[in-house]
């Protein structure tokens, strides 16, 4: 049986992303695999409470989001002992970037939440669904509570 060597956990900074990271970490430990973490700043960002109330709303929103996301990602990586060379911050379509980073880094398991900001009312959120359909490796959708 083949085992996983490189896991990629995709996070959207919602509260439950800690649960997703913890599950990915547990699997990485079991498989003695490398764990990378990724956040994608959406191409056309709109104000989203997931980024926090401290975000200044101005014309340079994308730069603000990149900066604020970099800090949040660094805190998460630090908390979960994920080294800097395994931390990815990209801009674009979340599902496309998750698949691209996985492809380019020989990721064999992508870990996402069953839903996040786009999928609260759905069984499987749009990012999770897109990744599941386009990934060239296994995908684990961690079931999150609807509330
Ligand atoms: P969604 O499909 O948007 O409801 O989100 C489902 C899951 O996809 C989330 O729990 C995250 O694991 C992942 N995800 C969503 N948006 C992003 C993003 N911008 N960057 C990285 N991962 C994301």
Q: What is the pLDDT of residues 46-72, one digit of tens each?
A: 555 666 655 555 457 888 889 999 999
Nearest CA to ligand 1 atom 7: 113
The CB of 6 under 6 Å from ligand 1? The reply is: no
Average pLDDT on 12-27 reads 93
Two tokens, residue 5: 């060597």
Nearest CA to ligand 1 atom 12: 112
Contact 110, 10 (CB under 8 A): yes
- The CA 118 to ligand 1 mean position distance, Å, reads 8
Q: Where are the domains of the chain?
A: 6-143
CA–CA gap between residue 115 and residue 123 (Å, rounded):
8
Q: Pseudo-torsion of CA 59, 66, 10, 31, nearest 10°?
A: 180
Q: What is the pLDDT of residues 93-143, one digit of tens each?
A: 999 999 999 999 999 999 999 877 666 556 667 899 999 999 999 999 998
CATH hierarchy code of domain 6-143: 3.40.50.620
């Amino acid at each position: 049986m083949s085992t996983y060597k490189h896991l990629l956990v995709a996070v959207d900074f919602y509260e439950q992303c800690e649960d997703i990271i913890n599950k990915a970490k547990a699997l990485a430990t079991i498989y003695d695999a490398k764990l990378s973490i990724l956040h994608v700043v959406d191409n056309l960002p709109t104000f989203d409470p997931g980024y926090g109330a401290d975000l200044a709303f101005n014309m340079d929103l994308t730069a603000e989001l990149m900066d604020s996301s970099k800090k949040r990602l660094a805190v998460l990586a630090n908390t979960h002992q994920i080294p800097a060379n395994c931390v990815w911050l990209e801009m674009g379509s979340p599902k496309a970037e998750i698949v691209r980073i996985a492809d380019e880094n020989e990721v064999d398991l992508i870990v996402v939440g069953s839903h996040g900001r786009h999928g609260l009312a759905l069984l499987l959120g749009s990012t999770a669904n897109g990744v599941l359909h386009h990934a060239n490796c296994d995908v684990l959708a961690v079931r999150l509570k609807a509330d």
